Structure formats: structure tokens, C-alpha cells
Structure 1
Amino acid sequence: MTAMTQPSLVTSGERLCAQAMRWLWEARRHFVLPPSVSSVDLVDVQTFKTLSELALAGWVVRREGAAGSDTRKGACDLLDFVWEQFHRGDLLHRMLLRNPAATHPIEVYSTLYAAGYRHEGLHQLIRHLLTLRSYRALDLVPNRKLGVAAAIRRLGLTPWADDAELLAGTWLGGLPEPWMIDTYNAYSVTHTVFHLTDHGAAPDRIPTELGDYLRRWLPVWLDVYAEAGFWDLLGELLIVHGYLDDPDEDPAPWQRFVQAQHDDGMMPNGINQPTPDPVARALTHYHPTVVAAIAGTLAVSRGLAAVSPDGNGTR
């Protein structure tokens, strides 16, 4: 097994992120909300999920600040776009007033809040809702509970349970037999780690035993999904792998992922054949392109940290 050199990781990560962010910026026009959209209209549309994930890409890329000044500016522009689509927080506020049991407006706002955007009325409403018994008994799948707790912590508030308790209820937290993984549980693995580490901001939140488990079995899963060409899931697993202190990784899955990116910056999902229709391409392949942008900027951060004298890189 030949480790990838840090300079090559940085170079390929910069290119991957920059091209993905350019494509996402161009694709944004397909996710513009109608000016008259109401909170009721928005709850059930795919566009809400898309906008939230565009915000996530913008936040992580801007936070890392490692993929170049042009890419960082693109991340800022993308965040501004999403904030304006949500009527500078008013739309999220109306959604939560309409359905106070919903958690997705809280999670999306927490990403924007971490990026520096503020809506005082929404923040006060969230603070109040967290005092209710309902929020101490959320009926969500375990990794989603971890995600809500991460969002609450991101807002500077106190979750109802600690990470260890929430992690124990997840598939990954049980240290399962690795051959029992399937697509559903593979996405559960990635999202559990994303939420636990606040999308890479705090990789030290991964407990030692879980880190050892991931170091042993992630390379196997990476090989499987690289061989299958399942680029969306492979990208998420590569992000998780980037949170671990494992410099002797096999470069093949990363190289295959980078090579799968189209010339225009789009990352195909590996399931649907991309079509020439720009709307269909945006709807079907925006998510793996978000993943590519995040994977790329984290690869740059990791590579720079590894070669910096103090080991801290840009973080």
C-alpha cells in the first residue's frame, strides 16, 4: 500500500473543491424559491433540502479557508444566496412557528448561524422550544438525534443528552460486524461521524475505540464503494477517513473519486447516468458535488496540517 503524498493530496483537493464550488454556484439558479413561497409550501419540497446542503458546503469550505481565496469567496456568495432564499431567516422562523415539533429548520439555521448569520426571533423561539419535554424525547432515528444535538450545540445551547449516550444508540456506535454494512447503514456511518465531529470541526470527539474500529474497517468499505463507482457514498466515506489520524492510506479510492469528477465540476452520484438537461443534472447530482466540495477542502486542510511545522495547518 502506497501512501498518497501530502502535496498531491493538497493539489487534487484544491482542484476538486474549486471545480465543485463553481458548478454549485452555476446550479444555484435551479433552486431559487418563488418569491411568494410560504412555510407550508416549503416543508415538502426537495429544494429545502438542497438549499440546506448548499449552505453546508459553503460553511465548511469557508470555515476551513484552505482551498484558495476565489473558492472561499464562492463559499461566501453561496451562503449569502441561501440566506436570501430563506428570507434572511424569516422563512425558517415561519416554518418553526407553523410546526414547532420540526427539527429541520433548527438544523439548517444552526449551519447558517455557525457561518455568522443571525435571526433573533428564530433564535429565541429555538431557545424556548428546547425547554419543552418534547425535545427531550425526540422520536428520530439515532444518528438524526445526534444531528439535532450537534445543531443545538452549534447554536450555543445545551443538548438534552451527551454525545456518548446518543452515539451508543447508533449502528456505528455498536461497533457492528463490518460485513453487515449496506447502503442505508453506510450512510448512517458517515452521518454519525459528521454530526459527532461537527463536520470535521472537532475530530477529537471520536472516541478512541470507535476511531480504532474505523481505521480497521474504513479502508475495506472504501475499496468496496470505489470498485462499485458509488461516488456519492464513496465521497462521504472519504470525508470520514479524513478525520482519522491515518497517514498510510491507500490513495486508490481518493484518486478514483477525483477522476470521476466531470470537466464542468459536477460529481456524478454513481447511480444515475448524467443527462445533458441542466435541470435534471442539478437535481440528481448536486449532492455528490456538495460532498466533493467538502471532501476537497478537508483534504487540503489535512494535507497542509501534515506539512506545517506546528502540525496545525490552517485550522
Structure 2
Amino acid sequence: MDWIEFPSLGRADLRDLRVAIDGSFREFTRAYGPALERIFEPLEDFLVWLETLLIQSPWPLVLIGLVGIVFLLSRSVKISLGATIALLLIGYFGMWEDTMRTIAVVTVCTMVAVVLGIPVGIAMARSDRMQSVVNPVLDLMQTMPSFVYLIPVVMIFGLGKVPGVIAVVIYAIPPMIRLTNLGIRLVDPDVLEAADAFGSSGRQKLLNVQLPLALPTIMAGINQCIMMSLAMVVVASMIGVKGLGQPVLQAINNQYFTMGVMNGLAIVAIAIIFDRATQAYGKRLQKHSEVVHG
């Protein structure tokens, strides 16, 4: 049986195509790079301010503040005590400053993902056509290797905090969008019919019915967003984002086993603290929603 040769571009044609695309993107970065950098300056200023606040403030005050936030979210003495012990150990082993930088980056990335993700999730929930358009984009964002995100943002912004934040947000925002969409779509149709019977407008139904009932699912999206942001910390350290990722990268390059393990465990500790606190808050919201609408 004769095999039919699969049609493909020749090597020369493929090389010319790549050169043309790369050249066009370089021209784009030269033309619009400075303007894009100015757009993201407030975000960078806020990140620098938050880092400075966490690092330069007396560590006991920062510790009390962080544990206080954990307690307000979880209302659990056990989780708050665990967070206190973990943060004290992080400080004892000399990783306090890098941990504060990491918390600042994750906080800013999560805030950006929430501000951008919730409106997109709401739009998807209100329009099947919007959902059919956005879902493939989210699939691409979730399956594309994280290192690929670094190429365009570094070409546009160079090395530093802003490209790292953008790369982390791209990696972490899909679950925020998906779970917002899912939470709103799962609202009981009978509740929506009751809202219609009382003459509620679409805006009133969204703000007073759908979003409050979808809040536990949205909190799950925030939880996943935080976890994925922390997972991206080591990758983002390759383009100049300071924090716990840089010592891990240094340990990989120089084969420093202890340094890598200790900083890795610090990332795990921060992830567990965030995870337990946000999960507990989500469960409280769910119980409250069941009591009010049960």
C-alpha cells in the first residue's frame, strides 16, 4: 500500500513564516511597549507599596495582622494557631522577607484575577454564546505550558514585577472565571422565578439573588486562584519576581538541596494557610446561604 505524503510547509517557508511573525511582534513591542508599561505602573506601585509595608513593618505586627485575617476568614483557633506556628518557623529559618514578598505578589495577583474574572464569569453565565467563545480561551490558558506565558510578557515589559504578575494572573484566572460562571448557573430556577414574581430587574436579580447564592462557589474559585498563583511563584522568579521562588531556582541551579526543600516547604505552608482559611470561609458562606434560603 502506498503511503500518501502529508502536505506540509517546507523548511524554508516555515522559517520565513516564523521570522515574519517574530518581526511583527517585535515591531509591536517597540511601538506599544512603553504605553503598555505606563498602563501597568499603578499596579507595580501598589505591589511595591504592599511589599514595603509587609517587610519594613515590625514583624510582630505583621504576624498579628496576618493571623488576624486568617482568624476572621476561618473563625478557627486551630487554623489560626497553625498559621502562627508556620509563620514563626518561617521567620526562625530566615525566610521571612522572601515570604512577605511572595504573599504580596499572590495578594495582588489574586485581586487582579478577582476584579477581571468575576465580570467575565457573570457575562458567561448570562450568555451561552459568550460561554462558547470564552471556554476555548480558558482551555488554552490552562493547557498552555506556563513557561510560554513568559515569552510575550518579557518581550513587552522586560524583566521585573509587572511581567511576573501578568504571567501569574493568566495562569491563575481560569478557575476564577469558570467557578463564577458555574455558581451563577447553579442558582435554583425556582428562586429566580420568585424574584421575577416580585418584579426584580435583571440587575437586581444578579446583585440580590444570584451573586449571594453563588458566593460559596465563587470563594472556591478564589481558593483555586490563590493555589495556582503560589504554584506559579517559582516560574515567575525566572523573570525577576522576588520571593520564595528565587531561592528555589537558585537551589536548582546550584544543587542546594536544603535551601530548595526549606523554601519549598515555606511555599507549602503559605498555601496550606490560605487554603484552610478560604475553605473555612466558603463553608461558612454556604451554611449561611442554606439557613437564609433553605
TM over 0.5: no
Q: For the pair shown, which has the larger CA radius of gyration, 1 or 2?
A: 2
Higher helix fraction (1 or 2): 2
**TM-score of the two chains, using structure 1 as the length reference:** 0.27
Q: Which has the higher contact order (CA 8 A, sep 6+)?
A: 1
